[in-house]
Structure 1
């Protein structure tokens, strides 16, 4: 009985201790959670750096100058003399179409032309004879040696002979024109490079039949890869800020550390609607040094709206109090708290270029001065981490007030 009483007593003591611990924990937790959080002032030093105002977009690379080489005649592709990646010169033979049909048309036209020329010579001789008979009868009619009817018949024969000569001459002219077209079609069976460059695409194969009756089939593409064009798609909210000859740079997915520089060549006025988003194509030209850029590469494009080198820079989060009435030609006015030896000093500064994270100070601050930034007080855990050497205080980036 005494043993059972001791066991019960132990359980009761244990329960009381647990209740006290739980109650104390809840009291501490509710007290800490309900305690008001106070912001702290953190001094930020004014430094020098580079500020860039940018518009970003994605784009694709393509050759600035390229030609889709097609065929103007139909037939079987007899031979292709180049391959993808080959460098070609202007006028170089690229491919051939079976010329037999067009060669036969040329030979038939030449034969018909020779026949018409022979007929023309024959008809000219007949016309000369008709003219001679006409002159003879004209002389005989004065002596009443021939009848008037005979004279009229010779006049008609001479006129018909002259007309037949003119008709055959016109047929010869028509045949020569048709023969010229046939020879041109025959020349089209040999496809030459219209420009110097590199073969970038080759969608056809030897032995393939090409039909040029409706559209010109593309045999291959020749491109000049010395200068590339980025076709960037810019949102409608940003496109109004872009102008021709504006500097820009871009990176590729395969080499994000290398910046390729160029200038805006053209802002195309026709929009592209992708998933209900209105985008405008902007073309940027860049030299392809080392031929590292290839067609179809994805790029990240940065259009430079403005740039300030070696400028006084402060975080954009400090620009929370706008003073629009004190704006000048130097820039927009903001009021900041400057930390001095005497305490905090309220001062109006003027800001030039602004980004989401940085701002260029053009007036009101000097390098090395400190500006007070309001930050939330660190929690107990963060304070303990700071005491152990950690710096996990949260940074509030409130951004500039417009």
Structure 2
């Protein structure tokens, strides 16, 4: 039986190919592990920045009146419909005036009766006065007794008192008549101010009872000036002051912004679900009446802003430079100081001009040790509220620490008062590649004591 022979040459080629692939994989992993870290960067731009406090609010007319009925009765007619304009003094509605008119007529009849009684009493008083004068003459002539004289004098006083009583009753009835006439006039409701009828709470035919409370039948408002009532949390209200600029938008207004300012911060808060909210009032002109009552407004209170400023991402700001960068900076300062001392020690005695040149060179070397810090100090003095931060600026493909002075900032961007220019590229984050992550994981899982093997 013949033996099966396997060719040796293809088998060797396969071995060589496998070894080459393994070497390539190992080389690529080694290169990827030693690859320099990548950085997430962003460019420094120029633009406007605004720091705001946002709050939700409602749009209401600044001046409005809830018109009510002061008399009871059936609502007979509306003369102006909702949405129409009315001038002050225009007739708005009428209430049935039958009972009020009847009461006025009754008061007038009673007043006439009192006037008649008053006239009768006046005549009685004149007669009583004449009898009293006659009795006095007779009593002086001893024609009548003293008792009869005193009786006529008492009748005179009684007649005068009765006339005074009727006069008081006439005044009281006159006042009652005037009050009932006013009640009759209240059956016609007039506009208390010029404005627009924005709502109607009663309908024609409805019976109104004004004996206990004043029923509201409509609301008239002046829509030329509106007030925004914004609810501000207690965490933000201390940063809002009277006269502070603000603007707001509405749901249906698109991107349109209405500019205004704070008129008043009400001191009494409103607590909703344990959340303390303060009412902040803002007025805005509304000549075209685009703003309507009860509109929802998103209010933005401006606490800081910068125009045409250098802007950098907030993610690029750091509290201090990296440790190796600070060490390099300290070494540069130390080397600069040593060079300055060596130069002063080796310098022979020279003239004043030579000494001035030496001092100037020393100052230049000191400035090179801390480049540009004079400008930062000047900017810091001009902006005492600014913060000092550091950023990493990409220069020649490498991140370099750079101190900066930060002004106003939002959650995304910050105003750079000093240290950066438009177009600079700053580091916002460092990208860690997958091989480096795997390498770090391998190192973290390696047991203690398993390092490089030394000679046995």
TM-score by length of 2: 0.72
Distance 1:303 1:98, change over 3 A: same
Secondary structure at the counterpart of residue 294 of structure 2: coil
Secondary structure at the counterpart of residue 365 of structure 1: coil
Contact 2:316/2:392 (CA < 8 Å) preserved in 1?
no
The match for 1:202 is 200
Secondary structure at the counterpart of residue 429 of structure 2: strand
The match for 1:249 is 247
Shift of 1:42: 4.1
- Aligned partners of 2:37 and 2:154: how far apart in 1? 121
Q: What do the CA deviations read for 1:368-389 (whole angstroms, capped 9, x no partner)?
A: 3333333324669xxxxxxxxx
Which deviates further from its counterpart, 165-174 or 368-377?
Answer: 368-377
The RMSD of aligned alpha carbons is 2.7
1:364 aligns with 2:419: yes
The match for 1:166 is 164
Aligned 1:66-215 pairs, distance under 5 A: 66-215=64-213
Distance 1:210 1:267, change over 3 A: same
Secondary structure at the counterpart of residue 41 of structure 1: strand
- Aligned partners of 1:244 and 1:65: how far apart in 2? 20
Contact 2:40/2:431 (CA < 8 Å) preserved in 1?
no
Contact 2:83/2:197 (CA < 8 Å) preserved in 1?
yes
- Aligned partners of 1:361 and 1:92: how far apart in 2? 61
Contact 1:84/1:199 (CA < 8 Å) preserved in 2?
yes
Contact 1:249/1:259 (CA < 8 Å) preserved in 2?
yes
Which deviates further from its counterpart, 355-364 or 189-198?
Answer: 355-364
Which deviates further from its counterpart, 219-228 or 42-51?
Answer: 42-51
The match for 1:338 is 393
Shift of 1:50: 0.8
- Aligned partners of 1:135 and 1:169: how far apart in 2? 24
Which deviates further from its counterpart, 137-146 or 326-335?
Answer: 326-335
Q: What do the CA deviations read for 1:315-358 (whole angstroms, capped 9, x no partner)?
A: 111222169xx975151111223334596543322211111111
The match for 1:281 is 279
- Structure whose residues are more often strand by fraction: 1
Which deviates further from its counterpart, 326-335 or 272-281?
Answer: 326-335
Q: What do the CA deviations read for 1:270-322 (whole angstroms, capped 9, x no partner)?
A: 22222322222211211224322111221211111121111111111122216
- Structure whose residues are more often helix by fraction: 2
Match of 1:305 among 303, 311, 314: 303
The match for 1:390 is none
Secondary structure at the counterpart of residue 291 of structure 1: coil
Match of 1:347 among 387, 397, 402: 402
Q: Number of residues paired by the alignment?
A: 351
- Aligned partners of 1:159 and 1:322: how far apart in 2? 108
Q: What do the CA deviations read for 1:189-229 (whole angstroms, capped 9, x no partner)?
A: 00000111111101211110001111110110001111112
Contact 1:109/1:175 (CA < 8 Å) preserved in 2?
yes
- Aligned partners of 1:233 and 1:59: how far apart in 2? 6
Contact 2:228/2:281 (CA < 8 Å) preserved in 1?
yes
Q: What do the CA deviations read for 1:12-64 (whole angstroms, capped 9, x no partner)?
A: xxxxxxxxxxxx9xx99xx99xx899853344332211111100111111111
Secondary structure at the counterpart of residue 169 of structure 1: helix
